[in-house]
Protein backbone atom coordinates (compact mmCIF):
# COMPACT_ATOMS: atom_id res chain seq x y z
CA UNK A 1 0.00 0.00 0.00
CA UNK A 2 1.42 3.38 -0.97
CA UNK A 3 2.16 6.01 1.65
CA UNK A 4 -0.41 8.32 0.08
CA UNK A 5 -3.12 5.67 0.30
CA UNK A 6 -2.19 4.89 3.91
CA UNK A 7 -2.53 8.56 4.80
CA UNK A 8 -5.92 8.71 3.06
CA UNK A 9 -7.18 5.64 4.95
CA UNK A 10 -5.92 7.04 8.25
CA UNK A 11 -7.64 10.36 7.60
CA UNK A 12 -10.91 8.59 6.76
CA UNK A 13 -10.62 6.46 9.92
CA UNK A 14 -10.20 9.49 12.20
CA UNK A 15 -13.05 11.24 10.40
CA UNK A 16 -15.39 8.31 11.19
CA UNK A 17 -14.05 8.16 14.73
CA UNK A 18 -14.83 11.84 15.22
CA UNK A 19 -18.35 11.30 13.85
CA UNK A 20 -18.94 8.38 16.23
CA UNK A 21 -17.65 10.45 19.14
CA UNK A 22 -20.03 13.31 18.31
CA UNK A 23 -22.95 10.88 18.02
CA UNK A 24 -22.06 9.39 21.39
CA UNK A 25 -21.88 12.84 22.98
CA UNK A 26 -25.28 13.70 21.47
CA UNK A 27 -26.86 10.51 22.83
CA UNK A 28 -25.35 11.09 26.27
CA UNK A 29 -26.71 14.64 26.16
CA UNK A 30 -30.18 13.40 25.24
CA UNK A 31 -30.11 10.81 28.00
CA UNK A 32 -29.02 13.41 30.55
CA UNK A 33 -31.74 15.84 29.47
CA UNK A 34 -34.34 13.08 29.59
CA UNK A 35 -33.24 11.96 33.03
CA UNK A 36 -33.30 15.53 34.32
CA UNK A 37 -36.64 16.29 32.70
CA UNK A 38 -38.40 13.30 34.18
CA UNK A 39 -36.55 13.11 37.52
CA UNK A 40 -35.85 9.40 37.35
CA UNK A 41 -35.77 7.81 40.79
CA UNK A 42 -32.42 6.56 42.00
CA UNK A 43 -33.76 3.84 44.26
CA UNK A 44 -36.95 1.79 44.62
CA UNK A 45 -37.60 0.71 48.22
CA UNK A 46 -40.80 -1.24 47.72
CA UNK A 47 -42.83 -2.81 44.92
CA UNK A 48 -46.60 -2.80 45.28
CA UNK A 49 -49.84 -2.55 43.31
CA UNK A 50 -52.41 0.21 42.95
CA UNK A 51 -55.85 -0.35 44.42
CA UNK A 52 -57.39 3.09 43.89
CA UNK A 53 -56.47 6.64 42.88
CA UNK A 54 -58.10 9.12 45.28
CA UNK A 55 -56.98 12.38 43.67
CA UNK A 56 -54.04 13.82 41.76
CA UNK A 57 -51.51 13.26 44.53
CA UNK A 58 -52.92 10.44 46.70
CA UNK A 59 -53.51 6.74 46.08
CA UNK A 60 -54.40 3.58 47.99
CA UNK A 61 -52.23 0.51 47.43
CA UNK A 62 -53.34 -3.12 47.52
CA UNK A 63 -52.76 -3.65 51.26
CA UNK A 64 -54.97 -0.67 52.10
CA UNK A 65 -52.24 1.83 52.93
CA UNK A 66 -52.69 5.37 51.68
CA UNK A 67 -49.75 6.90 49.79
CA UNK A 68 -49.20 10.65 49.38
CA UNK A 69 -46.86 11.62 46.53
CA UNK A 70 -43.85 13.58 47.72
CA UNK A 71 -42.94 16.90 46.14
CA UNK A 72 -46.19 17.93 44.46
CA UNK A 73 -49.60 19.33 45.27
CA UNK A 74 -52.59 19.02 42.94
CA UNK A 75 -55.89 20.92 43.09
CA UNK A 76 -58.49 19.64 45.53
CA UNK A 77 -61.37 17.42 44.43
CA UNK A 78 -64.69 18.73 45.73
CA UNK A 79 -66.21 16.76 48.62
CA UNK A 80 -69.67 16.85 50.21
CA UNK A 81 -71.19 18.93 47.43
CA UNK A 82 -68.28 21.37 47.16
CA UNK A 83 -67.00 22.19 43.66
CA UNK A 84 -63.61 20.83 42.64
CA UNK A 85 -60.78 23.30 42.13
CA UNK A 86 -59.74 24.03 38.51
CA UNK A 87 -57.77 21.14 36.99
CA UNK A 88 -58.44 18.84 39.97
CA UNK A 89 -60.43 16.39 37.85
CA UNK A 90 -57.82 16.46 35.09
CA UNK A 91 -55.04 15.72 37.61
CA UNK A 92 -57.06 12.81 39.03
CA UNK A 93 -57.77 11.45 35.56
CA UNK A 94 -54.14 11.75 34.48
CA UNK A 95 -52.82 9.94 37.55
CA UNK A 96 -55.50 7.29 37.06
CA UNK A 97 -54.39 6.87 33.43
CA UNK A 98 -50.74 6.61 34.49
CA UNK A 99 -51.35 4.12 37.29
CA UNK A 100 -54.55 2.31 36.39
CA UNK A 101 -55.78 -0.42 38.74
CA UNK A 102 -53.66 -3.33 39.96
CA UNK A 103 -50.64 -1.82 38.19
CA UNK A 104 -47.29 -2.64 39.77
CA UNK A 105 -45.47 0.51 40.86
CA UNK A 106 -42.29 1.32 42.72
CA UNK A 107 -42.21 3.36 45.93
CA UNK A 108 -39.14 5.43 46.66
CA UNK A 109 -39.05 6.80 50.19
CA UNK A 110 -37.35 9.99 51.29
CA UNK A 111 -36.04 10.99 54.72
CA UNK A 112 -39.47 10.88 56.38
CA UNK A 113 -41.64 7.87 55.58
CA UNK A 114 -45.00 8.93 57.07
CA UNK A 115 -46.85 12.18 57.70
CA UNK A 116 -49.00 13.19 60.68
CA UNK A 117 -52.00 11.54 59.02
CA UNK A 118 -50.12 8.20 58.98
CA UNK A 119 -49.97 8.23 55.17
CA UNK A 120 -46.94 6.77 53.44
CA UNK A 121 -44.86 9.47 51.75
CA UNK A 122 -43.22 8.31 48.54
CA UNK A 123 -42.04 9.17 45.06
CA UNK A 124 -43.78 6.79 42.65
CA UNK A 125 -42.12 5.04 39.73
CA UNK A 126 -44.38 3.93 36.89
CA UNK A 127 -43.90 0.48 35.32
CA UNK A 128 -41.71 2.02 32.59
CA UNK A 129 -39.56 3.86 35.14
CA UNK A 130 -41.05 7.31 34.71
CA UNK A 131 -41.66 9.44 37.79
CA UNK A 132 -45.42 10.00 38.34
CA UNK A 133 -44.92 13.36 40.06
CA UNK A 134 -42.82 14.80 37.27
CA UNK A 135 -45.37 13.66 34.67
CA UNK A 136 -48.06 15.72 36.44
CA UNK A 137 -45.70 18.67 36.85
CA UNK A 138 -44.78 18.56 33.17
CA UNK A 139 -48.43 18.85 32.17
CA UNK A 140 -49.11 21.73 34.54
CA UNK A 141 -51.46 19.61 36.67
CA UNK A 142 -49.44 20.02 39.87
CA UNK A 143 -47.19 22.53 41.61
CA UNK A 144 -43.86 21.66 43.16
CA UNK A 145 -43.90 21.84 46.95
CA UNK A 146 -41.42 20.96 49.65
CA UNK A 147 -42.28 19.62 53.10
CA UNK A 148 -39.04 19.10 55.05
CA UNK A 149 -37.15 16.90 55.38
CA UNK A 150 -38.32 15.31 52.09
CA UNK A 151 -36.48 17.38 49.49
CA UNK A 152 -34.37 14.85 47.59
CA UNK A 153 -35.84 15.66 44.15
CA UNK A 154 -36.80 19.28 44.80
CA UNK A 155 -34.36 20.82 42.34
CA UNK A 156 -35.50 18.56 39.52
CA UNK A 157 -39.20 19.01 40.28
CA UNK A 158 -38.78 22.79 40.24
CA UNK A 159 -37.12 22.62 36.82
CA UNK A 160 -39.95 20.55 35.36
CA UNK A 161 -42.50 22.91 36.93
CA UNK A 162 -40.72 25.91 35.39
CA UNK A 163 -40.92 24.33 31.93
CA UNK A 164 -44.69 23.89 32.28
CA UNK A 165 -45.03 27.37 33.72
CA UNK A 166 -43.11 29.02 30.88
CA UNK A 167 -45.46 27.34 28.39
CA UNK A 168 -48.56 28.17 30.48
CA UNK A 169 -49.74 24.60 30.64
CA UNK A 170 -52.68 23.63 32.83
CA UNK A 171 -52.66 25.46 36.16
CA UNK A 172 -50.26 28.07 34.86
CA UNK A 173 -52.87 29.65 32.61
CA UNK A 174 -54.91 30.64 35.70
CA UNK A 175 -54.48 34.22 36.98
CA UNK A 176 -54.33 33.07 40.63
CA UNK A 177 -51.12 31.16 39.88
CA UNK A 178 -49.27 34.18 38.56
CA UNK A 179 -46.96 36.14 40.85
CA UNK A 180 -48.94 38.82 42.67
CA UNK A 181 -47.80 41.88 44.61
CA UNK A 182 -48.38 41.47 48.34
CA UNK A 183 -50.39 44.72 48.44
CA UNK A 184 -52.80 43.38 45.81
CA UNK A 185 -53.42 40.02 47.46
CA UNK A 186 -57.10 39.60 48.22
CA UNK A 187 -58.03 39.29 51.88
CA UNK A 188 -59.99 36.19 50.85
CA UNK A 189 -57.05 34.55 49.05
CA UNK A 190 -56.17 31.08 50.23
CA UNK A 191 -54.33 28.02 49.01
CA UNK A 192 -50.89 27.87 47.45
CA UNK A 193 -49.81 31.28 46.14
CA UNK A 194 -46.83 33.12 44.64
CA UNK A 195 -46.27 36.56 46.15
CA UNK A 196 -43.74 39.35 45.62
CA UNK A 197 -42.99 42.33 47.81
CA UNK A 198 -40.58 44.18 50.07
CA UNK A 199 -39.85 43.00 53.59
CA UNK A 200 -40.65 45.90 55.90
CA UNK A 201 -40.04 44.41 59.30
CA UNK A 202 -38.41 41.50 61.13
CA UNK A 203 -39.78 40.30 64.45
CA UNK A 204 -39.77 37.19 66.60
CA UNK A 205 -42.16 35.47 68.96
CA UNK A 206 -41.75 32.47 71.23
CA UNK A 207 -42.40 29.98 68.42
CA UNK A 208 -41.90 31.85 65.15
CA UNK A 209 -40.02 34.46 63.15
CA UNK A 210 -42.04 36.95 61.11
CA UNK A 211 -40.97 38.87 58.03
CA UNK A 212 -43.58 41.49 57.19
CA UNK A 213 -44.08 41.40 53.42
CA UNK A 214 -45.35 44.84 52.52
CA UNK A 215 -47.93 46.17 54.96
CA UNK A 216 -50.37 43.31 54.73
CA UNK A 217 -48.79 39.85 54.66
CA UNK A 218 -46.54 38.34 57.33
CA UNK A 219 -44.20 35.54 56.31
CA UNK A 220 -44.13 33.03 59.18
CA UNK A 221 -41.19 30.68 59.78
CA UNK A 222 -41.44 28.45 62.84
CA UNK A 223 -38.28 28.16 64.88
CA UNK A 224 -38.28 24.40 64.47
CA UNK A 225 -37.95 24.97 60.69
CA UNK A 226 -34.98 27.35 61.01
CA UNK A 227 -32.54 24.56 60.20
CA UNK A 228 -33.98 24.57 56.67
CA UNK A 229 -32.83 28.20 56.22
CA UNK A 230 -29.13 27.74 56.91
CA UNK A 231 -27.04 30.17 54.87
CA UNK A 232 -29.83 32.75 54.73
CA UNK A 233 -29.63 35.57 57.25
CA UNK A 234 -33.34 36.26 57.75
CA UNK A 235 -32.78 39.37 59.86
CA UNK A 236 -30.72 40.98 57.09
CA UNK A 237 -33.62 40.68 54.63
CA UNK A 238 -35.30 43.83 55.94
CA UNK A 239 -35.92 46.22 53.01
CA UNK A 240 -35.13 43.45 50.51
CA UNK A 241 -37.47 42.71 47.64
CA UNK A 242 -38.36 39.02 47.61
CA UNK A 243 -40.56 36.45 45.93
CA UNK A 244 -42.14 33.75 48.09
CA UNK A 245 -44.33 30.72 47.51
CA UNK A 246 -46.45 28.81 50.00
CA UNK A 247 -49.86 28.30 51.55
CA UNK A 248 -51.88 31.34 52.54
CA UNK A 249 -53.74 30.72 55.78
CA UNK A 250 -55.11 32.53 58.78
CA UNK A 251 -52.93 32.42 61.86
CA UNK A 252 -53.87 34.21 65.08
CA UNK A 253 -56.67 35.98 63.24
CA UNK A 254 -54.45 37.35 60.47
CA UNK A 255 -53.68 36.24 56.93
CA UNK A 256 -50.11 34.93 56.61
CA UNK A 257 -47.93 32.71 54.46
CA UNK A 258 -45.84 30.01 56.09
CA UNK A 259 -42.43 29.08 54.68
CA UNK A 260 -40.75 25.80 55.57
CA UNK A 261 -37.74 25.72 53.23
CA UNK A 262 -35.19 28.20 51.94
CA UNK A 263 -36.11 27.28 48.37
CA UNK A 264 -39.50 28.94 48.94
CA UNK A 265 -38.01 32.42 49.17
CA UNK A 266 -36.01 34.14 46.46
CA UNK A 267 -34.22 37.41 47.09
CA UNK A 268 -34.65 39.70 44.09
CA UNK A 269 -32.89 42.86 45.33
CA UNK A 270 -31.19 43.56 48.61
CA UNK A 271 -30.83 47.11 49.89
For 248, residues 6+ apart whose C-beta sits below 8 A from its C-beta are: 185, 189, 190, 191, 192, 193, 255, 256, 257
Q: What pairing do the DSSP bridges indicate for beta strands 143-144 and 72-73?
A: antiparallel
Mind telling me the catalytic residues?
68, 76, 119
* SS3 sequence of 185-237: CCCCCCEEEEEEEEEEEEEECCCEEEEEECCCEEEEEEHHHHHHHCCCCHHHH
What are the φ/ψ torsions at residue 28 (nearest 5 degrees)? -65, -40
Q: Are strands 58-61 and 120-125 parallel, antiparallel or unpaired?
A: unpaired
Amino acid sequence: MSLLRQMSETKRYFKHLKYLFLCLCFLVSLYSQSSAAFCQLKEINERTRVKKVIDGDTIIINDGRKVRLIGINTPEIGRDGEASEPFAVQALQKLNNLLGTDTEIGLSYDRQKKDKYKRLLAHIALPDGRNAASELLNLGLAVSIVVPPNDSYLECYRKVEQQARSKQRGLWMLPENSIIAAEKLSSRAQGYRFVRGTIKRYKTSKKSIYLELGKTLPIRITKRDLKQFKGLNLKSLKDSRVEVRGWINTYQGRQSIRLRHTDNIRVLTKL
